[in-house]
Amino acid sequence: MAAARQAIGRFLKSTRQTMRLSQAQVAVLASRNSLPLSRAAISAIERGLHLPSLEALLTYWNALQVDPMEVLERARLATVAPANLSSLSDDQLERRAGELHREGHHRDAAALYDTMLERLAQDPPSDPKVNARRQATVHLQRATALRRAAALLAARSAAERSIAAGSACPDVQAEAYSVLAMIHLQMSNLPLATDAASKAALLSETCGVETRTRVCLSRALVRFEAGEFEEARRALLEARELARKADDPAHLTQIAGSLALCLLALGRRKAARKGMMFAVALARTHRMAELEARWLVELGRIALDEKDLEEALDLAEAALSVAQRRQDPLMIFRAEWLQHQIVLRKSPGDPDRLRLGRLRKLLPHLEDPGEREVQDFRATLGFAQGRKGTP
């Protein structure tokens, strides 16, 4: 609870400072909205001594345009930033946050981006254009981390703040719209995702190759979710050419696996298998463990669909080994779930209780509960629980 109080307090204080308001001014705004909140109460909330009441949340909503649901989401994801950050420069702090994000510690990365925003609010660059670009960039980085942590409301707000702050920075705005498109996809809002992806594409036309690569990739993923697999494939081929120009192995590896999934959806199973094997090889070459485990699981799914259970099991075990070395709960879950599906095919009467027990224990540690395997497991769990009470 202390972590939640501190995370919320830091966020509200940073938001107030960014808007150049004092605690006394927020108290005055509160009194005008018939939801009084004293300066002492505001101070206590910002210092993490108290959680804001419902009335206080509504006050902040009216005074600072802070969505109460975002505040609650921050409480759920609360992570206290390390205390020894004062000795780190802004560049060092940004590098550390990026490392945490790449290692899969998305909540911890978001906490460091919060610290960076607090610093900007307290000591902004003297040049307003530099300050605006910096604000937009950090909000974009924070939105990306929060999206991966499945804090979608907070991620959406961060992406929107990046777009607003980056009004004079088309490259940052384009990437922020791309992230916003992915967030809307995770929230199952395809029309808004399509709109955001289109805006990103327009903004990116004059941007560098790195930005155009990311924008093109997000457009492809939106088209894939819309069931427009050939359009998605063409967008991925375009993204691949851009990634090659940028010499970007991370996106090349992601694009390779995504292309294989497109081919699979188009019914080109042989080409899909070959493409996924290439994606796994790329991930291994560039030591990208997360993508290696992810594409091994997808390759295992292809083998399972082809009824090659031994190959599917080998691939699932390889994925599990990679995920365990990386201590990645989601990829461990996906590999274990694939093994469970294989057991059901090989021995339909085997309840596989030990593995289901491990999967159940992993659930609280998953940052993205919207993954397909997680949803399938929850559905299976609900079915099993329903059967338990049946005569």
CB 309 within 8 A of CB 346: yes
Containing 313, the helix (H) or strand (E) segment is helix 309-326
Least confident range from 80-84, 135-139, 177-181: namely 80-84
Using CA atoms, how far residue 102 sits from 34, 98, 107, 109, 300, in Å, is 45, 6, 12, 9, 24
Single-letter amino acid code for the residue at 131: N
DSSP string, 335-390: HHHHHHHHHHHH-TT---HHHHHHHHHHGGG-S-TTSHHHHHHHHHHHHHHHHHT-
Q: What are the tens digits of pLDDT across the range 149-187?
A: 878 888 998 999 899 999 999 999 999 999 999 999 988
Residues 6+ apart with CB under 8 A from 159: 139, 140, 143, 176, 177, 179, 180, 183
Residues 6+ apart with CB under 8 A from 325: 289
Q: Give residue 370's pLDDT.
A: 63
At residue 34, does pLDDT exceed 70? no
Tell me the helix, strand and coil percentages in the chain, rounded to 5.
80, 0, 20
Over range 112-116, report the average pLDDT.
Answer: 86
Helices 54-64 + 68-76 axis angle, to 10: 120
| Delimiting residues of CATH 1.25.40 domain(s) in the chain | 84-187, 288-391
Q: Give residue 390's pLDDT.
A: 29
Residues 6+ apart with CB under 8 A from 310: none
Residues 6+ apart with CB under 8 A from 104: 148, 290, 326, 328, 330
- Give the separation between CA 150 and CA 133, rounded to whole angstroms: 26
User: Looking at beta carbons, which pairs linking 201-209 to residues 24 or more positions away fall under 8 Å?
Assistant: 201/174, 203/170, 203/171, 203/173, 203/174, 203/177, 204/170, 204/171, 204/174, 206/170, 207/170, 207/171, 207/174, 208/171, 209/242, 209/245, 209/246
Q: What are the tens digits of pLDDT across the range 330-349?
A: 899 999 999 999 999 999 88
Least confident range from 116-125, 308-317, 367-376: namely 367-376
Considering only residues 72 and 387, tell me which one the structure prediction assigns the higher pLDDT.
72
* Residue located via tokens 């990046």: 162
- What CATH number does domain 84-187 carry, 1.20.144, 1.25.40, 1.10.10, 1.20.1630? 1.25.40
User: Which pLDDT band holds residue 314 (cuts at 50, 70, 90)?
Assistant: very high
* Residue located via tokens 């996924």: 276
Residue range 1-78 in CATH 1.10.260.40: yes
Single-letter amino acid code for the residue at 129: K
Q: What are the tens digits of pLDDT across the range 219-251?
A: 999 999 999 999 999 999 999 999 999 999 999
Residues 6+ apart with CB under 8 A from 216: 201, 204, 235, 236, 238, 239, 242
Q: What are the tens digits of pLDDT across the range 285-297?
A: 999 998 999 999 9
Helices 209-225 + 229-246 axis angle, to 10: 160
Helices 128-148 + 152-165 axis angle, to 10: 160
- Give the separation between CA 381 and CA 355, rounded to whole angstroms: 13
Q: What is the DSSP letter of 262?
A: H
- Give the separation between CA 359 and CA 356, rounded to whole angstroms: 5
Q: Give residue 367's pLDDT.
A: 62
User: Which pLDDT band holds residue 385 (cuts at 50, 70, 90)?
Assistant: very low
Q: What are the tens digits of pLDDT across the range 248-293?
A: 999 999 999 999 999 999 999 999 999 999 999 999 999 999 899 9
Considering only residues 82 and 53, tell me which one the structure prediction assigns the higher pLDDT.
53
Q: Give residue 152's pLDDT.
A: 86
At residue 383, does pLDDT exceed 70? no
The first and second tokens of residue 278, run together, are 């290439």
User: If we measure between CA atoms, which residue out of 125, 109, 21 comes closest to residue 65?
Assistant: 21
| Delimiting residues of CATH 1.10.260.40 domain(s) in the chain | 1-78
Q: What is the DSSP letter of 81?
A: P
Environment class of residue 249 by beta-carbon count within 10 Å: exposed (0-12), middle (13-18) or buried (19+)? middle
- Average pLDDT score, the chain: 87
Residue range 288-391 in CATH 1.25.40: yes
Q: Give residue 140's pLDDT.
A: 96
Q: In the chain, pLDDT over 90 holds for what percent of residues?
A: 52
Over range 42-52, report the average pLDDT.
Answer: 84
